[in-house]
Each structure stands twice: as C-alpha cells, then as structure tokens.
Amino acid sequence: MENNSPFDSFELQFSPVAQSFFRETAKWAKFISIVGFIFIGLYVLIALMMIAAGSTIGAMSGNPMMGAMGGTTLGIIYLVGALLYFFPIRYLYLFSSKALTALESKSTDYLTDSLENLKSHYKFMGILMIVVIGLMILGFIFGIAGAFAATM
C-alpha cells in the first residue's frame, strides 16, 4: 500500500490572469535580452578595437597601470566579459521565446522548456555573483595584507 501525499493529486491551474502576467514577463525578458545582445556586440567591437590598438593605448594614456597592461590585455578582458554576459542573456532570450510560444500554442512542453531556461539564467547569475563576491573578499583581504605590509 502506497502512501500518497495530498500534493500528488494537486493540479496547477494557469488562470487567464496568470497567463497575462507570464506573457508580459516574457515580453520584457525578450526586450532585455535583445538589448543585452546589442551591448555584447558593442563590448566585442570595443574589445577588438583595443586589441587592434595594442600597446598604443597604454603608451598614449600616460597612466602607468595602462602602460603595463596595454590595450591588448584590456581587449581580452572585455572579450571574456562579453562571453560571460552572453550565457545569461541567451538563457533569458530562450525563456522569453519559448514562453510566448507556450502561451500561443498552449504547450506544456514549451512552458517547461521556458521555465528551464529561466532557471538556468538565475542559476548562472547566482553562481557568477558568488564568484564575484569571493573575488571581492579576496581583494579586500589582499588589500588589507598589502596595507599592513606597507606599514611595516
């Protein structure tokens, strides 16, 4: 004899109001993702210009830090940033496209796929946030250690 939870027979209802909210969310997600792709393109263009300019950027700036890094290094950093930004924007775009298709076709499969992409978007952003916070903490620790070492 199997013990069934009351939730096993629970059926979720996707009311017209909920569908309206979901449709509006998907439209805004599509807008944000398209703008995100445009910014990724601009990042890549700027990165390629920096790489093409190479060490000229560092020499012209007069900033010792820029002279040490040069335009090529900054261009590569911009390319890595664009690559990191691409994945969450792609997941957001896939969410919006599949969500709108799910609403038009009343397809549970498309709805499931859209929510999977939304989950992937948030998961990627969460992991990225954890990494950035970790790097900030490390920078803070090294900054304090450097300041302490400089006073010795």
pLDDT, tens only, 56-95: 665 666 665 555 567 788 889 999 999 999 999 999 999 9
Total-model pTM? 0.79
What is the tally of helices (H) and strands (E) in the chain?
A: 4, 0
Which among 109, 128, 115, 107 has a CA at the least distance from the CA of 26?
Answer: 115
The reported pLDDT for the residue numbered 67 is: 56
CA distance 19 to 107: 13
> Is residue 4's pLDDT more than 80?
no
pLDDT tens sequence across 19-60: 999 999 999 999 999 999 999 999 999 999 888 887 666 566
